[in-house]
Amino acid sequence: MPAHLQRTTASNELGDFLRTRRAAVSPEDAGITTWGTRRVPGLRREELAQLAGISVNYYIRLEQGQSANASDAIIEALARALRLDDAERTHLYAMARPTTAKRRRTARTESPTTGAVRLLASMPDVPAMLLGRRNDVLAWNPLGHLLLAGHLDPAAPERPGTRPNHLRLLFLDPHTRELYRNWADEAALAVSSLRYTAADYPDDRLLAELIGDLSINSPEFARLWARHDVRLCSSGTKQLHHPEVGDLDLHYEVLHLPDSHGQRLLTHTAAAGSAAADALSLLRPTPGTSG
């Protein structure tokens, strides 16, 4: 990975996050009166420090990664001044207060939990897949495979070395790109969710390699990653255009599994009697087929 992409330390990420959030808050929104032409978007460093009630020098040290383990009071003051939402506030804590426990986590190939695999098999009418913290597809049920990646080998998640990765597919695979009717929104959501997860695993080499590879091979990913947007994706609507059954609007839920180091189930459902439900019934594999 090129040196300029190896920006995985908590201090660098904290500074970049603070700068992008500072640029997103206008002086008017913050109640600051300004005169003349401003050379920077958003708030100046001294303005943010004043709003948060901290010294300018201390804030500069935070942005430059020279002050670790900021107090809860300072983090909360910055979160209020920057108007952060809950996900962004949690992200700020993760970067400003790195813990020893987080830094002990090592990069290794993930394995699906037995219970999650059984759960996938127990709901054949619900398209679902099991994702790891790096967005590797650890398992899927037949309907999940046919809905989201029917052009791939159904057994692909069973091979750890070459498993599909949901982010790689989204940015680098034309079939997956065409699946989403609003691809740009889906891509932005996926990257902002990865930002949220990555702060918890600052020393995960494989995660850093994934980010670096996508930054090199996808200008769209690199642009979205540089925005430092953060979101915790838990539910919503996926607007799909499936090559076999056409347009579907499906509700999705992301179920985070306890004690699984970031593994989560992504499920899709359709309202009873809806056109999407009819489309899923056409897609559903018949008994005796592998999907």
Q: Tell me if 3-98 shares its fold with 114-283.
A: no
CATH fit for domain 3-98, picks 3.30.420.240, 3.40.50.1110, 1.10.260.40, 3.30.1300.10 = 1.10.260.40
pLDDT in 10s for each residue of the chain, 291 residues: 443 344 444 447 888 999 999 998 888 887 887 766 777 788 888 989 889 889 898 888 888 877 767 888 888 999 999 999 888 988 888 888 765 444 445 557 888 988 899 999 999 999 999 999 999 999 999 999 999 999 999 999 999 989 999 999 999 999 999 999 999 999 999 999 999 888 888 788 899 899 999 999 999 999 999 999 998 888 999 999 999 999 999 999 999 888 777 899 999 999 999 999 999 999 987 665 544
Locate the domains of the chain by residue range. Answer: 3-98, 114-283
CATH number, span 114-283: 3.30.450.180
- Can you give the three-state secondary structure of the chain, one letter per residue? CCHHHCCCCHHHHHHHHHHHHHHHCCCCCCCCCCCCCCCCCCCCHHHHHHHHCCCHHHHHHHHCCCCCCCCHHHHHHHHHHCCCCHHHHHHHHHHHCCCHHHHHCCCCCCCCCHHHHHHHHHCCCCCEEEECCCCEEEEECHHHHHHHHCCCCCCHHHCHHHCCEHHHHHHHCHHHHHHECCHHHHHHHHHHHHHHHHCCCCCCHHHHHHHHHHHHHCHHHHHHHHCCCCCCCCEEEEEEEECCCEEEEEEEEEEECCCCCCCEEEEEECCCCCHHHHHHHHHCCCCCCCC
Full-model pTM = 0.81
